[in-house]
Amino acid sequence: MPEQEYLPPRQPGGSRGPGRCDQDPPPWASLSSVRQDRPRGFGGGPADDAPAGQPEQVPPCAGPQWAGPQAGDEEPPAAPRRAPGRRAARAAARRRRRWLFLLAGLVGTAGAVTAVVLLAAGGGGPAPVIPGGLITTFQPGELQQVPNACRSVPAATVQQYLPGKADVASPLSVDGAAESACDWTIDRAPVYRLFQLSMLAYAPSGLASGDGSATFAAIDAYDSALAGMQHPSKKSAEPRATVTLLSGLGNEAFSAQQVFRRGGAVTDVATVVVRYHNVVVTATMNGLQQSNSGDYGPVSMSQLSSAALAFAQAAEATLH
């Protein structure tokens, strides 16, 4: 009986063919190949320390490590990328434009802020005024507090226009050092006089006209007082005043004369209003022309106006 030749088992895989490791090796494939010893070089020969004369066992189907997939094992080629359509291209262009606009705006804003900081750091003066913006700080010449109203008028002036001993009272201020007021009163028949003096330094306000500065806030208050004298509201108990604009006093000033009649009593009132930068000075002299009982009077309107003007001038002088 012929001796059967041993064949190694078949490897699982595809069909057999030339160059496949899963085909049946020839009978001589199991024989050891003898190669002459050589140094190990680039490409992977036997180890340098291998004994001389030892045969190197080479697998029948061993291939180089860099060998790629064999025929029949090729991977399907990747699908080509789809070129972006017109709509996607337009959307990408819009996004790029938006980023460019945003970067340009940030650069412009950073430049403006840097310029303001550099200007502010240049000295110890007030903050720079940005064109078209609101002013929130006091500017040169503006006052943040006013003198004491009771001490702003010399005693000789008080004695001249308020003969006798006047009672002096200082109403409580609601604006702290930015406001001061004082009342002088003489109530001894037949003389009744009430003199009221107030000084108020206005602060910057977003409700003010113009750039919202403290000076514009004072201008608004001055204009409101003038309009109220010239054209009082129909619902107001204030009579229409005779108004005269004054020159050489503060930045602007006016005087007004009014006559109040209440239940048979007649009171003459002379007022002088002065604006100096952001401060408004108001001096008012009341004289009882006629009382209900007839114990007071008469009074001179011109003397009242002169007294109001003298007190206003004295108070305005303390602001310089």
pLDDT in tens, 221-262: 999 999 999 999 888 888 999 999 999 999 999 999 999 998
- Residue 128 has a pLDDT of 52
pLDDT greater than 90 at residue 15: no
Mean pLDDT over 101-106 rounds to 55
pLDDT greater than 50 at residue 171: yes
- Residue 291 has a pLDDT of 84
- Residue 106 has a pLDDT of 53
In the predicted model, what is the mean pLDDT of the chain?
A: 75
Q: Which residue has the higher pLDDT, 310 or 297?
A: 310
- Residue 62 has a pLDDT of 45
Rg (CA), the chain: 53
Counting runs of H as helices and runs of E as strands, what totals does the chain give? Answer: 5, 7
Task: Calculate the CA dihedral of residues 86, 91, 94, 95 and round it to 10 degrees.
Answer: -140
- Residue 304 has a pLDDT of 97
- Residue 172 has a pLDDT of 83
Give start and end residues of each alpha helix (H) in the chain.
Answer: 86-120, 149-152, 155-161, 214-230, 301-317
pLDDT band at residue 50, thresholds of 50, 70 and 90? very low
Mean pLDDT over 59-74 rounds to 46
- Residue 105 has a pLDDT of 56
pTM of the complete model beyond 0.75: no
